[in-house]
C-alpha cells in the first residue's frame, strides 16, 4: 500500500469522526497563554469557528486517531465489517494538525476519538499520550476532549482526565437490549461503570487532600455522552427517561442525541432512512425543559399515546396546550416556576420579568422588549393591558401554531 499523505489521512479520519454530534468547547477552567510561554486559552464559553452546510458548528478538530476497529457495531461507519478506506494518524500528526489549526484560529482545540485497535488499553494509551504531549511538551492551553474507551484500564481514564477538559463515553443506544443487538462487543454495564468512575474521580479531585493541597483538576468541563436516535425502536419517552437517569447518576454536562444518518457502506442489519432531524430537535428541546425549566419527563410525554414527542409543535407549547387550566398566567404575580412554564418565555426573559416587575407593573410591549416570543406566549398570559380572554381555551388554538397541513398535489 502506498503511504497516504497527511491530507488523505485527514480526509478519511475526519469523515469517520463526523457522526459524533458533540463539538462543545465550553465549561471548565479558564486558562490563557498571556505569559508568552505556551499557546491557547479557554474562556469558559466555547467558540464556533465555522459552520458546515449541515448547520453544525466546527469548534474542535474532531478526528479519529484511527478508523481501524475490531468492533462490529451495526450503525457505525468504522465497524470491522465495513469496506471504507482505513487510515491511521501517528500521534505526531495529530499534535501537528491541532497546533497548526489552532494558531490560525480555525479551532478551539481537539476532540480525539478512535476506533479500537489491538486492545482497548493500547488505543487509550495512545490517546492519552497525545493529550499529555500537547499539554506538557507544547504547553497547549486550548480545549481537549477525549472520547474514552469504556473497557480501558481505569488508570488510563484517570490519567486522561488530568489532560482533557472533557471526557465522554457514548452509551450509543437508548436501551441495553439495543446495545446488545447492534453493538455486540460493547457492554452497557461496563459503559455505566466507566461513567460512574469518571464522576467519582472528578468529585475526588474537588476534595482537598489531607495535606490541605488541592488535588489536580480532573476533566474540568465534565463528561458527556451520545445516543443514536432512530436506529432502534425506542420511543422518545424511553430515550428521555434514559437521559434523566444519566444526568442524575453521572452528573453529565450533556446528553447528545444523534439522528441516525446514512453512512457509506451501511450494514444490511440497519436499513438507511432519512435522518429524523426534527425528532432530534424536539428531543433537545425536551432535554432543555428537563434541565432548565423544571419539567419532569413524565409530564413531557404524558399526553402522547405512542410515547413520542409531537413533531409539529415544540414540547413546551404541547404541554401548555394540554394543561390549559393553569393558564393564563399573570406575568405581574406568577412565581418563577410558573413563568418558566409559559411558552415563549426563556430563562433570561423570566429573569428580566422578575427584576423589572419589582419597580413597576408590566405591559404587553414591555414583554416584547424583554425578549419574550409573544406569538407563542400571548394565549397563555395576562399583563396590565393584555388579557387573552377566550383565546386560551379556543378549540383551534393548536392549529394556530402547527404548520398548515401539506396540500396533496393533483396527479
User: What distance in Å separates the CA atoms of residue 369 and residue 360, rounded to the nearest whole number?
Assistant: 15
Nearer to another protein (CB atom), residue 19 or residue 394: 19
Phi, psi of 167 (to 5 degrees): -115, 145
Minimum CB distance to another protein, residue 306 (Å): 21
CB of 85 to another protein, least distance (A): 12
Residue appearing with cell numbers 474542535 = 60
Query: Which sign does the torsion angle of CA 252, 258, 264, 266 carry?
Result: positive
For the CB of residue 117, give the shortest distance to another protein in the complex, in Å.
10
Q: How far is the CB of 105 from another protein (least distance, A)?
A: 5
Between CA 172 and CA 164 the distance in angstroms is 21
Q: Which residue lies nearer to another protein by CB, 186 or 321?
A: 186
Question: What's the closest the beta carbon of residue 239 comes to another protein, in angstroms?
Answer: 14
Candidates 230, 211, 24, 20; CA nearest to 115 is 20
Q: What is the DSSP letter of 134?
A: H
The CB-of-32 to another protein minimum distance in angstroms stands at 4
Residues in a beta bridge with 112? 63, 146
Instruction: Tell me whether residue 189 or residue 393 sits nearer to another protein (CB atom).
Output: 189
Nearer to another protein, 25 or 392 (CB): 25
User: Which three three-digit cell numbers place residue 144?
Assistant: 481537549
User: Which three three-digit cell numbers place residue 380?
Assistant: 397563555
* Three-state DSSP state, 219: coil
How far apart, in whole angstroms, are the C-alpha atoms of residue 219 and residue 164?
6
Tell the smallest beta-carbon distance from residue 148 to another protein (Å).
Answer: 16
Q: Are 69 and 115 in contact (CB under 8 A)?
A: yes
Q: In the complex with another protein, which residue's Cβ is closer, 194 or 321?
A: 194
Nearer to another protein by C-beta: 217 or 251? 251
Indicate the residue among 251 and 398 with the shorter CB distance to another protein.
251
- Asked if 345 and 372 count as a contact pair (C-beta separation under 8 A), the reply is yes
Amino acid at each position: 500500500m502506498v503511504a497516504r499523505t497527511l491530507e488523505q489521512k485527514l480526509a478519511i479520519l475526519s469523515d469517520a469522526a463526523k457522526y459524533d454530534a458533540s463539538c462543545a468547547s465550553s465549561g471548565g477552567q479558564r486558562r490563557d497563554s498571556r505569559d508568552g510561554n505556551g499557546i491557547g486559552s479557554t474562556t469558559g464559553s466555547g467558540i464556533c469557528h465555522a459552520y458546515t452546510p449541515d448547520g453544525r458548528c466546527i469548534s474542535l478538530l474532531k478526528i479519529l486517531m484511527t478508523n481501524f476497529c475490531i468492533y462490529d457495531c451495526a450503525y457505525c461507519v468504522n465497524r470491522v465489517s465495513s469496506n471504507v478506506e482505513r487510515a491511521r494518524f501517528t500521534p505526531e500528526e495529530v499534535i501537528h494538525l491541532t497546533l497548526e489549526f489552532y494558531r490560525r484560529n480555525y479551532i478551539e482545540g481537539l476532540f480525539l476519538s478512535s476506533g479500537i485497535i489491538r486492545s482497548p488499553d493500547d488505543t487509550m494509551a495512545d490517546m492519552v499520550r497525545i493529550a499529555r504531549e500537547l499539554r506538557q511538551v507544547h504547553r497547549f492551553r486550548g480545549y481537549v476532549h477525549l472520547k474514552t474507551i469504556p473497557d480501558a484500564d481505569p488508570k488510563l481514564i484517570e490519567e486522561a482526565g488530568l489532560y482533557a477538559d472533557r471526557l465522554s463515553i457514548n452509551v450509543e443506544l437508548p436501551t441495553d437490549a439495543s446495545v446488545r443487538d447492534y453493538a455486540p462487543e460493547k457492554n452497557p454495564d461496563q459503559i455505566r461503570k466507566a461513567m460512574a468512575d469518571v464522576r467519582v474521580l472528578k468529585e475526588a479531585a474537588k476534595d482537598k487532600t489531607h495535606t490541605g493541597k488541592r488535588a489536580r483538576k480532573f476533566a474540568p468541563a465534565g463528561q458527556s455522552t451520545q445516543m443514536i436516535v432512530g436506529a432502534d425502536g425506542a420511543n422518545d419517552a424511553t430515550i428521555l427517561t434514559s437521559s434523566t437517569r444519566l444526568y442524575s447518576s453521572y452528573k453529565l454536562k450533556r446528553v447528545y442525541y444523534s439522528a441516525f444518518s446514512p453512512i457509506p457502506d451501511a450494514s444490511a442489519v440497519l436499513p438507511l432512512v432519512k435522518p429524523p432531524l426534527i425528532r432530534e430537535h424536539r428531543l433537545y428541546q425536551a432535554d432543555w425543559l428537563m434541565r432548565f425549566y423544571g419539567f419532569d419527563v413524565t409530564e413531557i410525554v404524558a399526553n402522547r399515546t405512542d410515547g413520542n414527542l409531537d413533531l409539529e409543535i415544540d414540547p413546551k407549547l404541547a404541554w401548555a396546550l394540554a394543561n390549559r387550566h393553569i393558564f393564563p398566567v399573570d406575568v405581574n404575580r406568577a412565581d418563577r416556576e410558573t413563568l418558566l412554564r409559559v411558552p415563549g418565555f426563556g430563562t433570561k426573559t423570566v429573569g428580566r420579568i422578575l427584576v423589572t416587575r419589582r419597580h413597576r407593573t408590566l405591559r404587553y410591549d414591555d414583554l416584547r422588549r424583554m425578549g419574550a416570543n409573544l406569538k407563542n406566549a400571548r394565549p397563555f398570559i395576562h399583563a396590565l393591558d393584555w388579557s387573552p380572554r377566550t383565546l386560551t381555551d379556543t378549540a383551534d388554538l393548536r392549529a394556530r401554531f402547527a404548520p398548515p397541513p401539506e396540500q396533496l398535489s393533483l396527479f
